Amino acid sequence: MESNVKSTPHSVKRWQLRVTDYEPQRVHKLPSETRFSTWTPLNNKSSNLQLFEERTNLVLHWFDLWTDRQRKQLLHSLLARSTKSQLKYCRDLLIETVPVTQVDFTAVLPRFLSLYVMSFLTPRDLCSAAQVSWHWRVLAEQDCLWAGRCIRRGWFLPYTPGEKEFGAWKNHYVSCVSTLDWLTPREAAEQYGTLNQQSVGLTEEEEERRKERGIRQMIRDKLQEEKRLSMRTRRAWGGNTKPEGARGGGTNSGLTFSSWPPSLVGSPSLSLSLDGGQPVASASAALSSFTYRPAPSHAASPVYRPPPALLLLLSSRIPAYELLLSGVRAGAIAVLYDHRGTLSALLTQAERAVSGQRVQRLGLLAPGGAEEIHLLHSSSLSENTLLTPDHRDFWERLSGWVAPTEEGGGIDIFSPLAASASGVALMQTLSSLTGLEVRAPAGLATGSFQNILSEWSDSSVCTGLSMQQPAAPALLYVCESALRAWCRQAQWMEEALGELRGRLGPQLQRVSLQARGRALGHFLWEEICLEETCASEELKEAVTEGLAALTRQEEQPKPLEFLALFLSRWSQEKEGEETRSSQKGLRLIPELAQTALDWRGAAARELHHSERVYLGRLGAVLKVYHEPLTAALNSNRAILSFADIHIILSPVAQILALNRVFQVDLGARLQQWGAEQCVGDVCVKLCSKLRVYTNYLNNYTTALCTIDKCRETKPSFRAFLKRADRTLATQMLSLQELLLCPVWRIHEYATLLQALSVHTPPGHPDHTHLSSALNSMLQFREFTQKLKRNSERDTLMEETQQMIQGCPNLREGSRQLVISQDAALLRSPDEQIPDSLRTYEHVSDVGLFLFTDALVLTRRNVQHTPFTLAHRSAHTFLASVALSSLAVREITHTRYVSHAFVLEGPCRSWVCATERGEEREHFLCVLRSAVKAALSGHQ
């Protein structure tokens, strides 16, 4: 045993010094004691290393003897004294020694990957995950995780969440689940049946359901595959990257439709603007904001663009306006406006088109006649309405963008206003109001829009202040080829489009063939004069003599040249004989020289020319239909009975006899035409016998019904119509279309008589007769229009009665259908909630049929036709309310509901909404007018 050592304040046991640097035999002989000093021999590396190892062992020995708290204090002190590089070394050492086994993946992964992981959780697991931390709650309540779950179950949010709104779809899912009706298996089996229930006759249905489930599973698999592929290429969640075209230097600050073809996006020939910032649903729907700008001639856009020289306002009610837009000249801008809009909207659209620059001339192409222009659906321009505040302000502001008359500015109206006294007065008033020259066609060409190609007159020419004939300005706006093609086919296009709108689809091919046949017949009879070309006897005689002379020639190396020379000499000899003979058998009126201001002569010649065409069509009725049917009846092989022939064709024979006399009298006056020649007495004679036309119009509906009845019941008549209709002899028209010619002729008579009357001075001897004939013809035209409106009203009421199932009798008294509108029927779950916070659910689709005395509500079911894009609506009667007891209230637009209104009846109310705001405004405007009229009628 070792001997005891005397204790000193710094004494230690020898066994404690085994691991220290105390070595008695190696202690350096220094002047002072160095046994327990902190001296370190820096210059002696071996001694330094030895001391470092000894002291490290000593510290580690002490570290083993310390408590956990003391150890942590030592580590804290050491780390606080360490440098940055030493701390990094400690970090790497700890990661290597203690690997990470549990970590919050939402803090490590990108946000979109965290959401992708959470998308595989069930709704219950997502709610549990939201309780982990605030960061997990933000991720677990994102709309991208809950919107799909709600939509798959048919739970749609009743409003569009705001940009910074949080957790809307999750709250909607929770509310729908909490209010869901749960059924026990027994209750579900009683109500819906069981899947393994065996029933007779349901095997095919079960097979279809199995196939349907297989198709749905295949669709879900494809969607999952597409989702996995899209996750590889999608950008980071919340990334604010922009496409290259949107980064700096972009000149297009308007809308950009990324789904459009590259050839359309950025095209200089098509600009699409929005009224009021409303989104464009389709190219159709945006008529009120369509502006056509012709493309520049060079591919590179020039630095300087001159101001537009011409501005053309084109109504959407013009048939086949696409053809006109394709022919707009480079110096003009065509603005296609919605016919259902307002004057302020049209003014705003025109202002946006000109971009604050001055235009040289202003053109207006809208439906109208010789007395007024149907500028808009609810706004007609006439002599009486021009000075109203709305029209006056519209034209004053619109004319401010047009150059003055001294610089060639003016207004061109594409309607035959110069053909009537009221139209001329409208032109003069408009010229005085705007201070510009107003020009319009004289209306000497008959047809739908062919007056545009006739002579033009301005307000100064009509009053006799100018002696110069104005140039036709129509060709300044549109290319001649496109304008002439459109003018020729506008009438047939209008009818074809009208029928196409009514039937849509199955009748497209038949209507197209009819339109082409009508155009072909018009070309053959008007341009080629097929009736004159088919001079069979004369042509047969000339060819026979020519061939006989050719056979008498022994040797003729060029027989075609010989025959051509012979026919030329034969024609000259025949013309000489006709010149020496009398003029008794002439059929055509010689064309007279027309001076620049001979408006009466031009109108009279047009009247005679159109009368000849009209008689040719009526004569075709008798030649092609009346004579064969009568001959078959006389030969005891009757196709139709005598009574049916009399009902259908006898009134045409009476009209033909009357108009032949009128043509002969008119031709006699034109043969001796002069400045003082009168044709008014001939027109008065025709107007005095209009009772023939009255009988025809009263019998017209009966004749059409007789044709349809005989065509269905008599196969021989059906075969006869198939052979006779739409042939060259009938000018490619059918019997029903030929019977419509007298109705068209009445409107042409009114137009031509207006032209004759306005260009006949009051002191002329023919003025009195022309005024009397014009008044009679205008009254008779109004009579025909009234008959047409009555027929259309009866047809519309009958179609509406058949359309609505279970509807009471609608054809009572003078009831008329005003308008119909498709809407959605809404219902609010709680009426106590304020209107700004109230939500609505879509109950069903309804149809609103507004009559002159009542409003009928129907339940509308949309049924789509398989393999086509067509669909039809089936209506079931729901309720009817008298207009005198109906109140209308609009619902303010909120984020929960839009375009909605309330119809309050005496017993209940209905909340309805339309798809677009324009539809609601138009329907409510018409409804309020009808309610006001009904209340005034009751009073």
Residue 832: the pLDDT is 79
578 pLDDT above the threshold of 60: no
Residue 23: the pLDDT is 46
Residue 761: other Cβ atoms inside 10 A:
9
Measure the CA–CA gap between 463 and 426, rounded to whole angstroms.
12
Average pLDDT of the chain is 77
Give kind and range of the element (H or E) at residue 638.
Answer: none
Residue 27: the pLDDT is 41
Residue 657: the pLDDT is 92
Q: What is the mean pLDDT of residues 229-246?
A: 47
Q: What is the mean pLDDT of residues 854-859?
A: 94
Specify whether the CB–CB gap between 833 and 904 falls below 8 A.
Answer: no
Q: SS3 helix, strand, coil % of the chain, rounded to 5?
A: 50, 10, 35
856 pLDDT above the threshold of 70: yes
Give residue-wise pLDDT tens across range 678-688.
999 999 999 99
Specify whether the CB–CB gap between 877 and 858 falls below 8 A.
Answer: yes
pTM: 0.49
Residue 848: the pLDDT is 95
Residue 203: the pLDDT is 61
pLDDT top residue among 501 and 352: 352
Q: Are strands 410-413 and 804-805 parallel, antiparallel or unpaired?
A: unpaired
Which of the four pLDDT bands, split at 50, 70 and 90, describes residue 493? low
Specify whether the CB–CB gap between 827 and 913 falls below 8 A.
Answer: no
Residue 479: the pLDDT is 86
Residue 774: the pLDDT is 92
Measure the CA–CA gap between 878 and 860, rounded to whole angstroms.
10
Measure the CA–CA gap between 926 and 816, rounded to whole angstroms.
14
Give residue-wise pLDDT tens across range 354-363.
887 888 889 9
Three-state SS at 194: coil
202 pLDDT above the threshold of 80: no
- What is the separation of C-alpha 92 from the centre of its chain, rounded to a whole number of angstroms? 68
Give residue-wise pLDDT tens across range 496-539.
665 555 555 444 455 555 666 666 666 655 655 555 554 455 66
Give residue-wise pLDDT tens across range 97-154.
877 777 888 888 899 899 999 999 999 999 999 999 999 999 999 999 999 898 888 7
**389-403, 546-560, 786-800, 883-897: which range is least confident on average?**
546-560
Q: What is the mean pLDDT of residues 35-53?
A: 70
Which runs of consecutive H residues, i.e. helices, occur in 504-535? 508-522, 530-533
Measure the CA–CA gap between 410 and 433, rounded to whole angstroms.
12
Measure the CA–CA gap between 761 and 421, rounded to whole angstroms.
11
Which of the four pLDDT bands, split at 50, 70 and 90, describes residue 374? confident
Ranked by mean pLDDT, the top range of 154-163, 287-296, 858-867, 903-912 is 903-912
Residue 454: the pLDDT is 75
Give residue-wise pLDDT tens across range 591-628.
434 444 578 888 888 899 889 989 998 999 999 999 99
- Residues 6 or more apart whose CB falls under 8 angstroms from that of 316 comprise 287, 336, 337, 338, 339
Which of the four pLDDT bands, split at 50, 70 and 90, describes residue 277? very low
Cα separation values, 833 from 156, 709, 830, 838, 840, Å? 20, 62, 6, 6, 11
The structure tokens listed for 36 are: 């327990």
| DSSP code per residue over 769-795 | HHHHHHHHHHHHHHHHHHHHHHHHHHH
Which of the four pLDDT bands, split at 50, 70 and 90, describes residue 45? confident
Measure the CA–CA gap between 930 and 682, rounded to whole angstroms.
46
Residue 844: the pLDDT is 92
Q: What is the mean pLDDT of residues 571-599?
A: 52
Give residue-wise pLDDT tens across range 647-667.
999 999 999 999 999 999 999
Which of the four pLDDT bands, split at 50, 70 and 90, describes residue 804? very high
637 pLDDT above the threshold of 70: yes
Measure the CA–CA gap between 366 and 314, rounded to whole angstroms.
6
Q: In what order do the strands lie in the sheet containing 437-441?
A: 270-272, 290-292, 332-337, 310-315, 361-365, 410-413, 437-441, 456-458
Residue 653: the pLDDT is 92
Residue 445: the pLDDT is 56
